[in-house]
Amino acid sequence: MGNKKYAGSFFEHFKIMYDPRQEGKIMHKLIDILFIAVAATVCKCEDWEEIEEWATGREEWLRGHLELPNGIPSHYTIKRVFNFIDPKQFEKIFSNWMKEVTGNTEDTVIAIDGKTMRGTAEKCSGKKAIHIVSAWCSKNNLVLGQVKTEEKSNEITAIPELLDLLFIKGSIVTIDAMGCQKDIAKKIVEEKKANYILSLKENNPLLHEEVSEYFKMVENEDFKDGSIQHCSTLDKDHGRVEERLYYYSTDINWMDARFDWSGLKGIGMVIRRCNVNRERTEERAYYISSVKSVEEFSKVRLHWGVESMHWNLDVTFCEDACKTRKGQAPQNLAALKRLALNMVRKDKERYPKKSLKGRRFMALLYTDYLDYLFDINF
C-alpha cells in the first residue's frame, strides 16, 4: 500500500459506509476505525481491547495510511462504532469487494451453509445464539457474503436475502436440506441465472421418499437402467480412504414433482464409503438438481469446503469463544472475521505453505507482510 494516506481500493469500498454517530461529537474518522479493526483482526486480535493495544503499538505504521487526527481510538470507541454501524451495509460492501476479487463464477461451486456463534448465547436471559448464513466459493476458497438470522430454523428466509447479495451467474449453488425450498430453487435459476444441487432429507418427506425409493430400485437392479449416469472419486489422506460413488438421472418424467421445481433437470444419489483404521462406514445422500450431467453433479463434493471455513473461523479466529452479544456488534464482528479470513487465505506467494494461523502471526510480526496482504486484496 506504500505510505500514501487513504490509498487503495479498501478506502474506495468502505468510504461509503454511513456513520451513525452524532455529528459534532466525532473524534475519530469512521474509515480509520474500520481500517484499524480489519488490520488488527488479520494480526490475531480477537477482541476490542486487543485491537486498541495492537493499534497503539503500530501507530507509526497506521499513520502511514491514516490521518488519525486524535490518535488511536479507545476500545470503547471501536466497540461502540461496531455496535451501531448498519450490518446490512457492511455485508453489501463485503459482497461488492468479493465480486471484484472473485470475478467470473462460471462453473464454480457456491456452497451455502449456516453456523451458530455459540458465544453469543445468554443463558441467564434465555437469548439464543446468533446464526450466520455464509456463501463460500470453491474457485478461490473465499467467503462471498453473509447474513444473520436469529436461529437455524430461519435459514429458509436468510438464504434468499444472501442470494440477493451475490453475483453468481453460471455457478452451481449447493445447499443442505434446510434450503431445499421451491422458492429458493426458483430464485437461483430464474433471478441469479445459476444452477442448484439441493440436499433431500425428511423435511421434504414425499420428495425424499420418491427419490430414495427410485434409487433403491435401480440399485437392486445393479444400476442396469441405461438412464443412470455414474462416476466416482477416491481420496486418501493420513490412513483415511474415502470413496464416493455418484449416480445421476435426468429421466424424471415419472416424477409428480418435476413441474413444481424451477429448472429441475435430474435427481442424484451419493454413496460415501469411508475406511479409517480398518473401520468401514457407508452412507447415502439424495439430491435434486438443475445440472445436466453426473460430472457437474459430482461437484457436490466441494460443499465440504464451507465446513472447512467454519472450522477455520472457530480454530483460527476463535469465533465460538467470542462473547460479544449486544447491538449490531456480533454480526459486524462476524463479517470482520470473514473479511480477515479471505485476506489471509489469498496469499499464494509469500507464505503459501504456512497455515492461516501462521500467516496471521507473520502479519502481526512484520508490517511489510501486512502491507502485502492489503495490496493483493485491495
Torsion of the alpha carbons at 246, 252, 257 and 258, rounded to the nearest 10: 100
- pLDDT attached to residue 172: 97
Which residue blocks in the chain are alpha helix, DSSP H? Answer: 9-14, 30-42, 48-57, 59-63, 75-84, 87-102, 155-165, 182-186, 205-220, 294-297, 304-315, 329-345, 356-365, 367-377
Q: Output phi, psi for 73, to 5 deg.
A: -70, 150
Question: Domains plus CATH for the chain?
Answer: 9-85+349-372 (no CATH), 92-312 (3.90.350.10)
- pLDDT attached to residue 324: 67
- pLDDT attached to residue 153: 59
- pLDDT attached to residue 24: 84
- pLDDT attached to residue 217: 93
The angle formed by the CA atoms of residues 330, 309 and 53, to the nearest 5 degrees, is 50
- pLDDT attached to residue 125: 64
Residue pair 300/97 in contact (Cβ under 8 Å)? The answer is no
pTM to 2 decimals?
A: 0.88
Low-confidence ranges of the chain (pLDDT < 50): none
DSSP-based three-state secondary structure for 50: helix
Grid cell at residue 354: 504456512
| 195-216: pLDDT as tens digits | 999 999 988 999 999 999 999 9
| 171-193: pLDDT as tens digits | 999 999 999 999 999 999 999 99
Cell 490412513 sits on residue: 239
- pLDDT attached to residue 344: 96
Tally of CB atoms within 10 A around 66: 22
